Structure 1
């Protein structure tokens, strides 16, 4: 018993140190290693990365292409057709933590534990009006039409389907403009919300760090590699 506890007390700081080193290296090592061709020209779209201390979202413009790609949002109660809507906002997270923790005041041990270990994944979709740029919590990027199409496809691939239809999570939402949907795959802290954001951005031709588990590391790599 004492031997096991001693090993745990020694091993835990070592594990934390190794994760910190991995996160640091993952931030300064770009993925992909070679820079893609610069985006721009006719048909350029503006996309945003929104961040808070632990989570990032991707915001795409409410336009004809995004509305056509995600027709189920309006049918599911997300007001993308509101005249004031300017941005569709997508984020991925662990099901238990995401659904049960709308604010820090709602934090409970079990959802936190599931968020740090293994859980089913969900996608959260919201709409926003005009956003101010620049901002400490907003990074903007211009991408070409082909890159924009790839980004939409990568986001769409994250929605789980049943009988060919997306699956809204019933009776759970943060407010009047958002909705949760079942997502493909599993969620872990090592491959969490911010690594999903990075993967979607790479599909659009942006470079990120090799591993970005935290918003601050993703923001740093986006700033320095693009």
Structure 2
């Protein structure tokens, strides 16, 4: 815990400052896991090709989605723990030792910011780098399976990478933000280590 606090307090991109205006994204958390929320379509990127609403359960594809939430995590934890009460010791140990990666993608309609979904503005060049980083984690449709999510507005996709204590879901979030040039912590295994950098 002490190492995580120290590691998450050492800044990457320490000179970065949020612009007064720019492309609005959000960093969200459920208290344990973090994700990056982006416009579904803007001048820089249309995510509908990578994350089509058609992959959602029947009846959910036609909603007027405006944003997409993307995160990464361990396959067995994602697929077999719809609530934290479902997390077994064996699944947790397997994730810490090393497990396959999976992308979690949720579709939103005009998400409202709050204490657990905080707005962050990026310059166009920064957002472009964020997009490229996430694109590098998206396998082509022919090489990935689609797994049902927890609700009718989210799904999971096979993704590259190995989850372990040094490369957690929250580390993925901070690494992705850092690749865009955003100030964040060096080692952020826990959600709080990510969120403390977002006002």
Say whether the fold is shared (TM-score over 0.5): yes
Matches within 5 A, 1:71-220: 71-74=49-52, 76-78=54-56, 82-83=63-64, 85-133=65-113, 135-161=114-140, 165-170=142-147, 172-220=148-196
User: TM-score by structure 2 length?
Assistant: 0.87
Residue 80 of structure 1: how far off its partner (Å): 7.0
> Does the residue aligned with 2:51 lie in a helix, a strand or coil?
helix
Distance 2:138 2:55 in 1: 16
CA distance in 1, matches of 2:62, 2:124: 22
Shift of 1:175: 1.8
CA distance in 2, matches of 1:59, 1:80: 18
The residue number in structure 2 matching 1:25 is: 6
RMSD: 2.3
Encode CA deviations 1:139-179: one digit per residue, 9 max, x unaligned: 111112111111111111112347xx451334x32121111
- Structure 1 Cα separation of the partners of residues 69 and 47 of structure 2: 14
Q: State how far apart, in whole Å, the 2-side matches of 1:152 and 1:67 are.
A: 7
Distance 1:29 1:87 in 2: 31
Q: For each residue in 1:28-73, what CA deviation from the matched residue of structure 2 results, as whole angstroms up to 9, or x when unmatched?
A: 210134x1365465xx210000112210011001224576344032
- 1:38/1:216 Cα in 2 relative to 1: closer, same or farther (>3 Å)? closer
**Deviation digits for residues 88-111 of structure 1, max 9, x if unmatched?**
000111001111001123222322
Greater C-alpha radius of gyration? 1
Q: Contact 2:77–2:92 at 8 Å: present in 1 too?
A: yes
Structure 1: stretches of 5+ with no match in the other structure: 1-19
Higher RCO (CA-CA < 8 Å; seq separation 6+): 2
Paired residues, number: 196
In structure 2, relative to structure 1, the CA distance for the partners of 1:65 and 1:136 (3 Å cut) is same
CA 1:65–1:125 in structure 2 vs 1: closer, same or farther (change >3 Å)?
A: farther
1:3-18 alignment, distance < 5 Å: none
Tell me the TM-score normalized by structure 1.
Answer: 0.77
Instruction: Answer whether contact 1:119 1:188 (CA < 8 A) is retained.
Output: yes
Query: Could you tell me whether the CA contact under 8 Å between 1:73 and 1:80 is conserved in 2?
Result: no
For residues 2 and 87 of structure 2, the distance between their equivalents in structure 1, rounded to whole angstroms, comes to 28
Match of 1:12 in 2: none
